Amino acid sequence: MGGDPPDDFFSRINFLNHIMNNVKTIIFDFDGTIADTIDIFFSIINEKLAPQFGYAPLNSDELSHIRNAHPREVLKKYGFSALKLPLLVLKARAELAKSIDSVNIQQGIKQVLIQIKEQGIHCGLLTSNSRSNVVRFLRNHGLSSIFDFVYTGKHLFGKDHILRRVLRKRKLNRETTVYIGDEVRDIEAARLVGIRVAAVTWGYNNKNVLKAKEPDWLISDSKKLLAALT
């Protein structure tokens, strides 16, 4: 792709024009992109999982560092065991289920989803969260009719494998499919399977980290995205 990804108002217009003219399916990440679960996850890690797994709770500076780093760097720096990671993810899902009814939707994204769906574009979700959490969240926020499919995976890494499965099972054309996420691993996964990717900056990783990975589009504000759409 090369160069800095666009990040101004007219680039957002071009992004949406591209969607309307060339994209048939959009696959969204869930946590951070659609659901505002970041703070809840960090609370779960500090209050529930750190004592259980023998990790020290993270302070505000460490949380800021985590959001500026690749997940693999985080595991190495803080000594999280890769062997314990699947169990930690499962425990986090179970704890999140207790609070899922209080999870907010990211500001402005519901209107964007409705407008995109009205254009006849197929929408799907890909997430490491549990299907039951996702279904409850969508029902709570009136989004159940927006998404044509939901695919879940158990591991922090390996989203490219799930993406390939989605493309194969749904018989999706790579040229007309876009993935939208909030983490560097979303960008990496899309690159590995050969589809275009838009990164949003209101989720887990910050703007500079995402920009360094050169997504096809970098979107900073869902409300401006909606303004461009309408």
pLDDT in tens for each of the 230 residues of the chain? 444 444 555 565 566 665 556 788 999 999 999 999 888 888 888 888 878 777 777 777 777 767 776 666 766 666 666 666 667 777 887 888 888 999 999 988 998 999 889 888 899 999 888 899 999 999 999 999 999 999 987 655 578 999 999 999 999 999 999 999 999 989 999 999 999 999 999 998 989 899 999 998 888 887 665 554 34
* E strand spans, 46-129: 122-127
In angstroms, the CA 11 to CA 191 distance is 21
| Domain shared by 166 and 203, yes or no | yes
Question: Tokens 């799930």 map to which residue?
Answer: 162
Q: Is residue 4 part of a domain?
A: no
| Domain shared by 78 and 184, yes or no | no
Given 50, 73, 102, which residue is the final one in a domain? 102
Q: Is residue 1 part of a domain?
A: no
| Domain shared by 71 and 24, yes or no | no
Q: Is residue 3 part of a domain?
A: no
C-beta atoms surrounding 219 within 10 Å: 25
The token pair at 90 is: 């499962």
Q: Which residues form the domain of 137?
A: 9-36+104-229
pTM for the model? 0.81
